């Protein structure tokens, strides 16, 4: 019987944002092919109950509280990793002999206690954390946060180079990250994002608005929205809907003053799917070069046109399914062009996505690598 420890940086339910979407649907896909998952989660607060959606796809679920001590900011280890350590985790991993899959570098602080044991270690490489925090620092306007992100970036630069060599395999999300890892540890495997979508939706030719969605507590998303708002202020004939559960009051007030832009909460995956279905085109912009964003898959499977800039994906196949612009003027031109066109990309997307980017195929590939002996 195949068993696997999976250590998550957070509780993976509901699957409502980037990395945690990949974690949740990975667990589901691995369980679907018969692998027993022992799930370990670092959390701010231990939940009173385990959601049925998690319980049904795991063998065990263990929780560990993230440490709160601010002095970890002064540790040589990146803060995100330093707060995710636990003696209980070490004991639980020893008790059940199975390979261990770490979700993100931030869960790997315990590896120094494990690398001489007889359990094989694997890593899901969610980000090049050095570049990720460098990008956050660049986008952040708060000077204190900008400095914190910059320091975290520098810490991760050395940390990831040291630790990546300790794994039997590193599962990378994108071509760029694959080449980053392969350049100094030679144990990289390209496994695309787990996204939970089964089939491409067959939609009619026209939607009602342009859609921007994302977590607006993240500086990169805030910067992308600011750029998008500035573009649509010059396009009063086109309606933009901003969907987010994390929008500040200042932003809501700003949007309320613009006639062709509105903001709505997401709240549930069902609501988000309805927003996708009714959108004529999606605006996906980023200023961080960190591989393929999960939101791209959700839009490609569930909506119509996708307008992106160069940082949404480095996958040439996926880029071929999008409309690409690098400047505000190019994005503005694409908005005007798609607004006047009938959507007709269903067959192309179905052929590409369902054949090459399915969760089941990804799970089979991971299983083949971990359990090859």
CA 272, CA 247: separation in Å to the nearest integer? Answer: 16
pLDDT exceeds cutoff 90 at 262: yes
Average pLDDT, integer, range 322-338:
97
What homologous superfamily does CATH list for 3-196+358-370?
Answer: Glycogen Phosphorylase B; (3.40.50.2000)
Q: Are 137 and 149 in contact (CB under 8 A)?
A: yes
Tally Cβ neighbours within 10 Å of residue 184.
13
Half-sphere exposure of residue 143, counting CA atoms within 13 Å on the CB side?
A: 0
CA angle, 111 as apex, 105 and 114 as ends, to 5°? 150
Q: How far is CA 365 from CA 8, 35, 350, 357, in A?
A: 20, 13, 21, 12
Average pLDDT, integer, range 273-291:
92
pLDDT of residue 106: 96
Q: What is the CATH number of domain 209-354?
A: 3.40.50.2000
Question: Mind spelling out the 3-state secondary structure of 329-349?
Answer: HHHHHHHHHHHCCCCCCHHHH
Mean pLDDT of the chain: 93
Candidate ranges 177-191, 211-225, 331-345; pick with highest mean pLDDT: 331-345
Same fold, 3-196+358-370 and 209-354: yes
pLDDT of residue 205: 97
Tokens encoding 189: 């495997």
Domain ranges, ordered by start, for the chain: 3-196+358-370, 209-354
Half-sphere exposure of residue 115, counting CA atoms within 13 Å on the CB side?
A: 11
**Dihedrals φ, ψ of 194, to 5°?**
-85, 125
CA 142, CA 23: separation in Å to the nearest integer? Answer: 30
Closest CA to 305 of 273, 342, 274, 271: 342
Q: With the CA atoms of 220, 224, 226 and 231 taken in that order, what torsion angle do they form, in degrees rounded to the nearest 10?
A: 170
CA 353, CA 321: separation in Å to the nearest integer? Answer: 10
CA 335, CA 243: separation in Å to the nearest integer? Answer: 18
pLDDT of residue 373: 61
Write the burial class of residue 326 (CB in 10 Å: 0-12 exposed, 13-18 middle, 19+ buried).
exposed
Q: What is the pTM of this model?
A: 0.84
Cβ contacts of residue 315 below 8 Å, gap of 6+?
174, 175, 192, 292
End-to-end CA distance of the chain: 13
pLDDT digits (tens, 9 = 90+) for 61-102: 999 999 988 888 888 999 999 999 999 999 999 999 999 999
pLDDT digits (tens, 9 = 90+) for 144-165: 999 999 999 999 999 998 999 9
pLDDT exceeds cutoff 90 at 228: yes
Q: How far is CA 88 from CA 64, 91, 95, in A?
A: 8, 5, 11
């Amino acid at each position: 019987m195949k068993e696997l420890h999976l250590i998550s940086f957070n509780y993976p339910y509901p699957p409502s944002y980037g990395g945690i979407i990949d974690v949740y649907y990975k667990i589901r896909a691995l369980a679907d092919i018969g692998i027993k998952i022992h799930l370990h989660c670092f959390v701010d607060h231990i939940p009173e109950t385990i959601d049925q959606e998690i319980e049904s796809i795991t063998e065990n679920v263990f929780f560990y509280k993230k440490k709160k001590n601010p002095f970890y900011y002064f540790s040589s280890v990146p803060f995100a990793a330093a707060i995710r350590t636990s003696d209980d985790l070490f004991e639980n991993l020893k008790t059940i002999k199975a390979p261990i899959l770490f979700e993100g570098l931030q869960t790997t602080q315990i590896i120094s206690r494990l690398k001489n044991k007889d359990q094989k270690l694997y890593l899901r490489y969610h980000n090049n954390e050095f570049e990720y925090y460098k990008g956050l620092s660049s986008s952040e306007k708060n000077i204190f946060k900008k400095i914190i992100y910059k320091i975290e970036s520098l810490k991760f630069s050395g940390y990831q180079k040291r630790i990546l060599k300790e794994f039997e395999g590193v599962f990378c999300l994108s071509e760029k990250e694959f080449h980053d890892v392969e350049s100094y540890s030679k144990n990289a495997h390209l496994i695309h994002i787990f996204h939970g979508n089964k089939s491409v939706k067959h939609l009619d030719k026209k939607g009602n608005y342009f859609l921007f969605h994302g977590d607006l507590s993240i500086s990169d998303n805030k910067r992308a929205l600011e750029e998008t708002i500035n573009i649509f202020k010059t396009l009063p004939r086109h309606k933009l809907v901003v969907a987010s559960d994390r929008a500040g009051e200042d932003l809501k007030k700003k949007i309320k003053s613009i006639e062709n832009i509105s903001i709505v909460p997401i709240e549930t995956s069902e609501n988000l799917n309805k927003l996708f279905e009714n959108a004529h085109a999606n605006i996906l912009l980023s200023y961080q070069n960190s591989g393929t964003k999960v939101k791209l898959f959700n839009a490609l499977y569930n909506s119509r046109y996708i307008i992106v800039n160069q940082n949404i994906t480095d996958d040439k196949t996926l880029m071929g399914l999008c409309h690409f612009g690098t400047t505000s003027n190019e994005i503005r031109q694409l908005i005007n062009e798609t607004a006047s066109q009938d959507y007709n990309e269903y067959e192309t997307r179905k052929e590409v996505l369902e054949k090459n980017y399915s969760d089941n195929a990804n799970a089979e590939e991971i299983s083949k690598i971990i359990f090859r002996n």
